[in-house]
Structure 1
Amino acid sequence: MKLALVGIGKIAVDQHVPAIAASPDWEVGATVSRAGTLPGVEAFTDMARMLEKRPDIRVVSLCLPPVPRFAYAQAAIRAGRHVMLEKPPGASLSECHALEALARENRVSLYATWHSREAAMVRPARNWLSDKRVTRAHITWREDVRHWHPGQDWVFEPGGMGVFDPGINALSILTRILPAPVHLTRATLDVPGNRQTPIAAHLTLSGNVTAEFDWLQTGKQTWEIEVETPEGTLLLQDGGARLLIDGKERGADDEDDTLQGEYPRLYDNFARLVTRGGIDMDLSPLTHVADAFMLGERRAVAPFDW
């Protein structure tokens, strides 16, 4: 199937393009971007023109930041195209609900992707926890914004989410692996004096679940989720790439699974979703972030500059 890749920036070039190239299901038929292009692929700078000129392209993958994404998704769905959304699926929950309703009205597939859920050991972690009682869980998610988003001021603007840009990855894993749902009860958000979104956050959720997000860690990055049960302690490390139970490393459940990488798995999921028809719009990670902004105590911290 041919698709249009919209927003040719770092995430598209680093993740989407290689995943599509390796897939037997997909081919990039066109791009839409203000400046970015791909060699040998027809390039548009206007979404409406692409939709008009390329009726053969029935699928659109949106790699734009969350704030402008809604208008592009809305236009694609109204034109009868299936749509894949980078995380988070929207700048607000109401946008996401509106897109889902529009997709149902136009009978097209809509996929809210959470790439961290496709990390190698997330499914084994979910399987191990499925019949267990969780007594405590803690997320430690610390990384360097200057490395991952160099000079990208949009992450600190309204809708950019700040530290929740990576933090929502942890929440997407948490909501996938826990055997019972949880909800946020309290949050503290550290907001630089010259920015609009937090650079650090501390969350408390029901079920004795806590989270610590920090965007100023240099050196080795930390992406861990620890879950305690009466039967043992589970530790997901490296963003879900490694799984330890009581300190002993575990392997994948299915040794025959040859599909490697988070984004190849996303595009495999999307191919099956489009083929059979349907909508996958799990908004639970975004709900936790929205609740944090609604309930969070804001603390002013030192200004941040690149």
Structure 2
Amino acid sequence: MDPIRIAIVGIGKIARDQHVPAIRGNGAFSLVATVSPLDAGLEGVPHLASLDALLAEGPAADAIALCTPPQVRYELASRALARGIHLFLEKPPGATLAEVAALEAQADKVGASLFAAWHSRFAAGVAPARAWLAERRIEKVSIIWREDVRVWHPGQAWIWEPGGLGVFDPGINALSIATHILPRPFFLRQATLVLPKNRAAPIAADIAFRDAGGADIHMDLDWRQNGPQSWDILVETDAGTLKLSQGGAVLQLPSGTEQGEDIEYAGLYGHFATLIRGGRSDVDTAPLRLVADAFLRGRREITDAFHD
């Protein structure tokens, strides 16, 4: 079977650090091009300044990984789908829920595979955590996602703009795990969003959810963390406490601790290949819905200006 010819649109840190190695490590794919108006691309790989140039001039691509900021993703995705090209959408899948729904309908109409990729769901501890929780009664959940934005997102002005999500850019990773491992759906009850006075997106958030069975879920997001960084989910159950740490890589159960290999993006591309070969899509917007609800119902607080 011939490899799936794939191009990457948007060559930033995440594309270079994660997408390129995952694609090159998967025999189902062949990286045929990169696209960016600002980056020079990769040695030995054809590079174009725009998606329009790729579509007009080639090389031909069966699939595209869209790694651009979400605010500009819809137009690019729609133009690719119009050509029947399969699409991998880096998280979040779009700037709004409505545009993701429109892309899903367009993909279905043309018979292309659309994948809203939540990389944290492929962290080593997530699948076993989901299996363990399936037979447990959930009593309480705490999500603590605290990191230093200057370390992880230096100079990324787009992330502070409307649609860039601010602290929810990492926070949505936690929600992608929680919506996947918890056995019942949950919804927002109240939220406080903390915005620097010179930014349009929050730097911190405190959120209260409740699941369909009445269990409380508390989420603490902060981009001002100094010292040790925290990417933890604690789930108190009738059989003891489960803890996912390091963004889902380490699972602690009452019976012991498990730590697996970091295969998040390898897992994503394995799943994307399966979707394409099977003529299917995977567009789960549950994490983005919860973020949208926080912006819809959250109370705003203004804090000191933030500067990189």
TM-score > 0.5, shorter chain as reference: yes
Letter in 1 for 2:282: D
Q: Is the aligned partner of 1:228 residue 2:232?
A: no
Aligned counterpart, 2:248: 240
Aligned counterpart, 2:293: 291
Choose which of 19, 29, 32 in structure 1 pairs with 2:32.
29
Deviation at 1:35, TM superposition (A): 2.1
Aligned counterpart, 1:98: 102
In 1: Cα distance, 2:79 partner to 2:166 partner = 27
In 1: Cα distance, 2:149 partner to 2:60 partner = 39
- Per-residue CA deviation, residues 228-278 of structure 1 (Å, 9 max, x unaligned), is 1111110001100111113831366xxxxxx85100100000000000011
Deviation at 1:218, TM superposition (A): 2.0
In 1: Cα distance, 2:259 partner to 2:12 partner = 34
Choose which of 300, 303, 306 in structure 2 pairs with 1:304.
306
- Per-residue CA deviation, residues 43-62 of structure 1 (Å, 9 max, x unaligned), is 11121121122273111110
Q: Structure 1 residue runs of 4+, over 6 Å off?
A: none
Query: What SS class does the counterpart of residue 135 from structure 1 fall into?
Result: strand
Q: Which moved more, 1:202-211 or 1:264-273?
A: 202-211
In 2: Cα distance, 1:126 partner to 1:34 partner = 41
Aligned counterpart, 2:265: 263
- Per-residue CA deviation, residues 9-42 of structure 1 (Å, 9 max, x unaligned), is 1110011011111111112101110122011111
Equivalenced residue count is 300
Q: Is the aligned partner of 1:278 residue 2:280?
A: yes
Aligned positions of 1:1-306 closer than 5 A:
1-36=4-39, 37-54=41-58, 56-206=60-210, 207-246=215-254, 248-250=256-258, 260-306=262-308
Letter in 1 for 2:38: A
Contact 2:124 2:259 survives alignment (8 Å): no
Q: Which moved more, 1:91-100 or 1:55-64?
A: 55-64
Query: What SS class does the counterpart of residue 67 from structure 1 fall into?
Result: helix
TM-score with structure 1 setting the length? 0.96
Letter in 1 for 2:270: D
In 2: Cα distance, 1:152 partner to 1:175 partner = 27
Percent identity over paired residues: 49
Contact 2:6 2:63 survives alignment (8 Å): yes
Query: What SS class does the counterpart of residue 187 from structure 1 fall into?
Result: strand
Deviation at 1:180, TM superposition (A): 0.7
TM-score with structure 2 setting the length? 0.95
Letter in 1 for 2:157: D
Letter in 1 for 2:307: D
Letter in 2 for 1:210: H
